[in-house]
């Protein structure tokens, strides 16, 4: 056989395939998961690009350290210490090529073939894909409205060879759900007993437009806690800047080795540029603008769903982030609905790729960050006709 088992067992990104059919400009697409391009601080980034070339010269074009650019690691540590009362130093921060690379590095560092990984069901398909490369056995645990099902989580933790659990506690992709404070505490207490690595991936946490900010589940509490973050949703995804935070020194050393073997280091021009942008601009003010934008879009979508959707169709009401998750009555196929909706020129992502072992599911994901409130209303109206 020409190809590796690992590549043959990994699904290609279903979303990329779907995005191809939704490229037609007459289609109203709720399928993507892209930040709204009007949120990119283009002018400020242009200034930063010029300034770093003028001030730093060749350094911005040279090879650099695997761990990452120190001012950026310092910014990350300071931000989490200030916002969450953590006690992180720049040594606890590894800059990665987007948080997607963090998922790859964690799996590479922890998994042998057949090891087990606890994931949310439904869960982030990019994580499922990244982990699949290392041929694990997935242990999906149901994601309820306020977090993981505790009974199922404990059953999974009791099994052998469980290397880590992967969760998205804030405005999860794909469901938009957020773990409650109580559920976070209960999950933390369980992990404290089982000594398994807990990976909390939080690309959307800063984009909260409703409700109170909540503490992380394990960060600052559990010895084997790993927290992931990214500049993709708040500054630019194209620069590919994410980070891993962990105070588990041994794990950090292995992650650095894994990263060295993958790409030596993250794009240093991007790192200088974003560090300069953060030093010369008011980051929080910028994030506040994105929050206001997404709040309006989310409200428009929810209002239209309330008005047009039939009562048997259920959906989540996110307090932030980019997604709403819809559940059809038992037995209905979201994939069938997708084809019918495309005839009316409206698109979404059928739920299938968000499950490690289920197909033809009755759930689907809607994204609201890339259409105006008027277009959102029209798209939801069309979708309701199909429903
Ligand atoms: N984790 C989650 C939960 C995501 O939704 C995404 C982006 N879709 C990523 C990680 C990857 O983000 P990036 O690599 O751009 O930082």
What are 188-230's pLDDT values in tens digits? 999 999 989 999 999 999 999 999 999 999 999 999 999 999 9
Place of tokens 């708040």: 234
Nearest protein CA to atom 11 of ligand 1, as residue: 100
What are 312-328's pLDDT values in tens digits? 999 999 999 999 999 99
Long-range contacts, 217-221 (Cβ 8 Å, 24+):
217/167, 217/169, 217/179, 217/184, 217/187, 217/188, 217/191, 218/188, 218/191, 219/80, 219/84, 219/86, 219/245, 220/84, 220/85, 220/86, 220/87, 221/188, 221/192
How many angstroms is it from 202 CA to the middle of ligand 1?
Answer: 9
- ipTM of this complex > 0.85? yes
User: Is residue 368 within 8 Å of 324, Cβ to Cβ?
Assistant: yes
Ordered domains of the chain (ranges, CATH): 5-41+285-384 (3.90.1150.10), 59-280 (3.40.640.10)
Residue ranges lining ligand 1, Cβ < 6 Å = 33, 98-100, 124, 126, 168, 173, 201, 203, 230, 232, 237, 242
> Could you tell which of 99, 104, 143, 242 is best to mutate to test the pocket of ligand 1, judged by most ligand atoms within 8 Å of the CB?
99
How many angstroms is it from 13 CA to the middle of ligand 1?
Answer: 13
How many angstroms is it from 352 CA to the middle of ligand 1?
Answer: 18
Beta bridge mates, 327: 314, 363
What are 137-161's pLDDT values in tens digits? 999 999 999 999 999 999 999 999 9
Closest ligand 1 atom to 231 CA = 16
Closest ligand 1 atom to 242 CA = 16
């Amino acid at each position: 056989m020409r190809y590796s088992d690992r590549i043959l067992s990994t699904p290609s990104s279903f979303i990329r395939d779907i995005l191809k059919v939704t490229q037609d400009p007459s289609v109203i697409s709720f399928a993507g998961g892209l930040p709204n391009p009007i949120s990119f601080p283009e002018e400020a980034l242009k200034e930063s690009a010029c300034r770093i070339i003028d001030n730093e010269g060749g350094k911005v074009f040279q090879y650099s350290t695997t761990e990452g650019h120190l001012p950026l690691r310092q910014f990350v540590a300071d931000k989490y210490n200030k916002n969450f009362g953590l006690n992180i130093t720049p040594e606890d921060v590894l800059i990665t090529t987007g948080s997607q690379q963090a998922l790859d590095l964690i799996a590479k560092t922890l998994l042998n073939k057949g090891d087990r990984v606890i994931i949310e069901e439904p869960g982030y398909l990019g994580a499922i894909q990244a982990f699949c490369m290392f041929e694990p056995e997935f242990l999906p645990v149901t994601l309820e409205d306020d977090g993981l099902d505790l009974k199922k989580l404990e059953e999974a933790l009791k099994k052998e060879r469980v290397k880590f659990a992967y969760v998205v506690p804030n405005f999860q992709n794909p469901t938009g759900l957020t773990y409650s404070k109580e559920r976070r505490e209960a999950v933390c207490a369980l992990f404290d007993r089982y000594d398994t690595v807990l990976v909390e991936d939080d690309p959307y946490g800063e984009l909260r437009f409703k409700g109170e900010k909540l503490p992380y589940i394990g960060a600052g509490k559990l010895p084997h806690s790993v927290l992931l973050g990214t500049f993709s949703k708040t500054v630019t995804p194209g620069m590919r800047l994410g980070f891993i935070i962990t105070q588990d020194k041994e794990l950090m050393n292995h992650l650095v080795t894994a990263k060295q073997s993958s790409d030596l280091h993250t794009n240093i021009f991007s790192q200088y540029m974003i560090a300069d942008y953060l030093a010369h601009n008011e980051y929080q003010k910028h994030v506040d603008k994105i929050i206001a934008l997404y709040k309006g879009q989310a409200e428009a979508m929810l209002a239209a769903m309330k008005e047009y959707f039939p009562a048997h169709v259920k959906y989540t009401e996110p307090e932030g982030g980019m997604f709403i998750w819809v559940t059809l009555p038992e037995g209905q196929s979201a994939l069938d609905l997708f084809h019918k909706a495309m005839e009316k020129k409206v698109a979404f992502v059928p739920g299938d790729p968000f499950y490690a072992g289920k197909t033809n599911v009755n759930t689907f994901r809607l994204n609201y960050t890339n259409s105006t409130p008027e277009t959102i209303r029209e798209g939801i109206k069309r979708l309701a006709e199909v429903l």
